[in-house]
Amino acid sequence: MKLTPRQQEILDFIKSTLEVLGAPPTRMEISSAFGFASPNAAEDHLKALAKKGAIVLEPGSARGIRLVEQLGLPLIGSVAAGSPILAVENVQGRYAFDASMFSPKADFLLKVRGTSMIDIGMFDGDLLAVHKTNQARDGQIVVARIDEEVTVKRLQHRDGFIELIAENPEFQPIIVNPGEVEFAIEGIAVGLIRGAVSKLS
């Protein structure tokens, strides 16, 4: 489900507090940060986030907030127009993988579609482990967004344009002219998963 702007702000605040303090914020800390009149308003927002599947609330604890993304790697489905690739509405489920088993660590999974990368052993239906970054070197396998389409290809910068190269001679390279289309690198491939996997949600 899509989050409201305020819900996204609160979710980002929870994430940043976890990174800085190593623990989620209390309702009082959320209320103070956003100028709510009472912790009850924070509680209402937290319940809405829990209902939309962004967090899990653990009763009986002042800091009983757990990010769903801590429960495994998210599988990204179709990407909603204009939304960040890891937005809640793009997540189809979560799988039981330790992100640190990949180097650099994986941030999300993407299901391989089609046969454009079969020459490097990437088959339709495989799960690609992706490290989220907007920086990539020539020759790396990237997850790229062109307008609202997401594709997996090998990156190559040319003089004045970018070439996204398939690993299958039946597919022509994709030529990207910056300025003519919206182009962004969403991440780099760090691993491939095939076969039975445990889905958490």
Q: Tell me if 147 is assigned to some domain.
A: yes
Q: Please tell me whether residues 42 and 80 are part of one structural domain.
A: no
How many domains, in total, are found in the chain? 2
Instruction: Name the maximum alpha-carbon separation found in the chain.
Output: 62
Residue 79: its pLDDT value, please?
57
- Report the CATH number at residue 42: 1.10.10.10
Q: Please tell me whether residues 77 and 40 are part of one structural domain.
A: no
Q: Please tell me whether residues 84 and 167 are part of one structural domain.
A: yes
Q: Please tell me whether residues 96 and 169 are part of one structural domain.
A: yes
Task: Give the CA radius of gyration of the chain.
Answer: 19
**Comparing C-alpha atoms, which of 136, 189, 190 is closest to residue 163?**
136
Residue 156 has which token pair? Answer: 């190559």
Residue 125 has which token pair? Answer: 């239906």
Per the structure, the complete domain to which residue 184 belongs is given by 72-193
Whole-number Cα distances in Å, 20 to 13, 26, 77 = 10, 14, 30
Q: What is the pLDDT of residues 51-109, one digit of tens each?
A: 988 888 888 888 889 887 665 788 887 655 556 676 666 778 777 776 677 888 888 89
Q: Please tell me whether residues 30 and 123 are part of one structural domain.
A: no
- Report the CATH number at residue 94: 2.10.109.10
Q: What are phi and psi of 185, to 5 degrees?
A: -85, 125
Between the CA atoms of 148, 155, 121 and 166, what dihedral angle is there, to the nearest 10 degrees? 70
* C-alpha to C-alpha distance for 89 and 1, rounded to whole angstroms: 5
Residue 1: its pLDDT value, please?
60
Q: Please tell me whether residues 52 and 78 are part of one structural domain.
A: no
Q: Tell me if 143 is assigned to some domain.
A: yes
Question: Rounded mean pLDDT of the chain?
Answer: 86
Q: Tell me if 106 is assigned to some domain.
A: yes
Place of tokens 């604890």: 61
Q: Tell me if 200 is assigned to some domain.
A: no
Q: What is the pLDDT of residues 168-201, one digit of tens each?
A: 999 999 999 988 888 999 999 999 988 655 554 4
Q: Please tell me whether residues 63 and 95 are part of one structural domain.
A: no
Q: Please tell me whether residues 83 and 134 are part of one structural domain.
A: yes
Q: Please tell me whether residues 89 and 10 are part of one structural domain.
A: no
Q: Please tell me whether residues 114 and 25 are part of one structural domain.
A: no
Residue 113: its pLDDT value, please?
86
Q: Is 34 exposed, middle or buried (0-12, 13-18, 19+ CB in 10 A)?
A: middle
Catalytic residue positions, numbered: 116, 153
